[in-house]
Amino acid sequence: MAKTHAQTTINGEHVEFLCEPHESLLEVLREHLGLTGTKEGCLTGDCGACTVNMDGRIVCSCLVFAAEAAGAEIDTIEGVARDQKLHPVQQQLLEHAGLQCGICTPGVVMAAKLLLEHNDNPTEQEIRYYMSGNLCRCTGYDKIVRAIQAAASEIRAGA
Amino acid sequence: MQEVRYERPTTIAEATELLAQSNGITKILAGGTDVLVQMRINSQIPSLILDVKHIPELRELRIDGDGLLLGAAVPSVELGESAEARKGYPGLVEGAEYIGSSQIQSRASVGGNLCNASPAADTVPALFALGAECRIAGPDGERTVPVEEFTTGVTTSCLQKGELLVSIRIPDPAAESSSAYLRFTPRNEMDIAVVGAGAAITLDKGGTCTAARLALGAVATTAIMVPEAADALVGSKIEESDLAKVAELASAASKPITDRRGTADFRRHVSGVLASRTVAAARDRAKAA
């Protein structure tokens, strides 16, 4: 079968890959490119575990064909920490115990990071609405929301 | 295994040609939030995946004196970010923003919601109420159909082989007019409408209704117009007694089924309640317009 060839940018680096035309971006990230930080959850776009940033928007990578990534800029959890330094969202999730099993965490980080890039002082309600597509079955959200609020304070203080 | 192709045309002509030549299952891809889910649920891999997001006409969002022009593949998030769209077409923006999470909003389009042809599609009652028209392109040229004629049944549309939806046009709203969309769901977010209602209301300077359109979703095989309820509003000030009449007529027009999300009786009742609330919301916005 004819494979699709795609050139894309992932975490700032030029990447080329071959994929089946109907393979998802999630499958290619995990199975072809070894970027297993992005998690597979529901495969129906409900849980947000597979959230990545595509051209400045968060998307469920299970609902994107890998072929669509051609020419796009993709950011995944692997590109969030810089020079061994965690992003404030990551650091605060650790400090607030905003994770237990950790499966939802990469998606939570990708979504919260973009939220704070657009709004570094969101209300609790704004956080909860924005994060409604990231399901967590362990912590019950409260700690996640507090971690995001703390990360927002940290970002505001550093700005 | 069958051959699968992913194609990314950049012109309408190229897209309609690929569609016309395609044999087997063809999926037109905008945001993919229905296409990929259905591909997995049905274990059905299409032979052609036609990504239409790189055709400029399908990505256009323009608001001017002629109204709103919304390319079929414009994601909901872009509509929601438009202050002009929120001001002029609040019912449509409400419908679009009900759909899914932030992640889904990044990809899902109003055009895709219409083409997917779910009876519960959240943008469709507002499109009906706002008098939207659909620009369709095919191998033999273009045609325009009123949105009420676009969806023909559960998951079916008027699109013929080789055709695709290019854009949706909504006329410029009159001075004292506005729109609203409300839905009932068991949960506030991330759910599918049990009943949806869209309304567009125009008032004169004295607050008397001069034009009204009302549509219901999720209570028949397609969204439905309820002209008898809308007509009853014309000439009135849309007071409590008028809203009660709307509720009664909307419940009577509703033709729901019983399923796990609600019984037919419950949906008929909610149709009336939501219709009157939606009309009242559009009226209040029209007064403020």
Mean pLDDT of chain B: 96
Residues A45, B1: C-beta atoms closer than 8 Å: no
Contact: A59, B5; criterion CB under 8 Å: no
| Residue in chain B nearest A62 by alpha carbon | B36
**Residue B1 pLDDT more than 60?**
no
- Cβ distance A46 to B190 less than 8 Å, yes or no, reads yes
A111 touches chain B (CB under 8 A): yes
Chain B residue nearest residue A1, CA to CA: B3
> B102: nearest CA in chain A?
A130
Which value, to the nearest 10 degrees, does the dihedral of the CA atoms of residues B141, B146, B150, B154 take?
Answer: 180
Nearest CB partner across the interface for B103, out of A51, A65, A129: A51
User: Quick check: pTM over 0.90?
Assistant: yes
Cα separation, B163 vs B12, in Å, equals: 10
Contact B104 A48 (CB under 8 A): no
How confident is residue B39, by pLDDT bands cut at 50, 70 and 90?
very high
Over residues B31-44, mean pLDDT: 95
Q: Stretch B259-281: mean pLDDT, rounded?
A: 96
Contact B269, B254 (CB under 8 A): no
What residue in A sits closest to B27 (Cα-Cα)?
A: A22
Assign B30 a pLDDT band (cuts: 50, 70, 90): very high
CA B201/CA B129 separation, integer angstroms: 9
pLDDT at B188: 72
How far apart CA B244 and CA B273 sit, in angstroms, is 9
| pLDDT score of A1 | 59
Return the amino acid letter for A25. Answer: L
The answer, yes or no, to whether residue B237 has pLDDT greater than 80, is yes
Which residues neighbour B208 within 8 Å (Cβ) at sequence distance 6 or greater?
A: B235, B236, B237
Alpha-carbon gap: B229 to the closest alpha carbon of chain A (Å): 34
B200-221 pLDDT tens trace: 999 999 999 999 999 999 999 9
Q: Are strands B26-29 and B48-51 parallel, antiparallel or unpaired?
A: parallel
Selected from 2.60.120.10, 3.90.170.10, 3.40.50.300, 3.10.20.30, the CATH number assigned to the domain covering A4-79 reads 3.10.20.30
A111·B46 Cβ contact <8 A: no
The pLDDT of residue B187 is: 78
- State the DSSP H helix or E strand holding residue B110, giving kind and residue range, or none if neither: helix B110-116
Of A2, A51, A131, the CB nearest to B3: A2
| B37–A63 CB contact, under 8 Å | yes
Average pLDDT over residues B219-232: 97
Report pLDDT digits (tens) over B80-113.
Answer: 999 999 999 999 999 999 999 999 999 999 999 9
Distance from CA of B124 to the nearest CA of A (A): 22
Percentage above 70 pLDDT, chain B? 99
- The minimal CB distance from A58 to the residues B5, B33, B106 is found for B106
Q: Which CATH superfamily is domain A88-156 in?
A: [2Fe-2S]-binding domain (1.10.150.120)
Q: How far is B105 from chain A (nearest CA, A)?
A: 8
Mutate to test the interface with B, among A22, A26, A115 (most CBs of B within 10 A): A22
CA of A114, closest CA in chain B: separation in Å?
A: 11
| Segment B45-84, tens digit of pLDDT | 999 999 999 999 999 999 999 999 999 999 999 999 999 9
Please give the interface size between A and B, counted as residue pairs whose CB atoms are below 8 Å apart: 88
Core vs surface per residue B9-39: b (16+ CB within 10 A) or e? beebeebbebbeebeeebbbbbbbbbbbbeb
User: From the CA of B47, how many Å to the nearest CA of chain A?
Assistant: 9
Pick from A1, A24, A58: which is nearest to B4 by CB?
A: A1
- CB-CB under 8 Å, A132 with B102: yes
Greatest Cα pair distance in chain A? 54
Question: Kind of pairing, strands B133-138 and B164-171?
Answer: antiparallel
* Domain ranges across chain A: 4-79, 88-156
State how far the Cα of A21 lies from the Cα of B6, in Å rounded to an integer.
Answer: 5
Q: Which residues of B touch A58 (CB under 8 A)?
A: 102-103, 106
pLDDT of residue A146: 98
Asked if residues B181 and B132 have their Cβ atoms less than 8 Å apart, the reply is: no
A 11-70 residues with CB < 8 A to B: 20-22, 24, 43-46, 48, 51, 54, 57-60, 62-65, 67-68, 70
Q: Residue A140 has what pLDDT?
A: 82
Q: Which of B133-137, B257-261, B280-284 has the lowest mean pLDDT?
A: B257-261
Per-residue pLDDT of chain A (159 residues; tens, 9 = 90+): 589 999 999 999 999 999 999 999 999 999 999 999 999 999 999 999 999 999 999 999 999 999 999 999 999 999 999 988 999 999 999 999 999 999 999 999 999 999 999 999 999 999 999 999 999 999 889 999 999 999 999 999 986
**What does the pLDDT read at residue B186?**
85
Q: Cβ–Cβ contacts within 10 Å for residue B268, how many?
A: 19
- The interface residues of chain B toward chain A in range 106-125, judged by CB-CB distance below 8 A, are 106-107
ipTM summary value: 0.96
B288 touches chain A (CB under 8 A): no
Give the chain A residue nearest B52 (alpha carbons): A68
Closest CB from B3, B4, B106 relative to A57: B106
Structure tokens at B53: 């997001």
Instruction: Tell me what percent of chain B is helix, strand and coil, each rounded to the nearest 5.
Output: 35, 25, 35
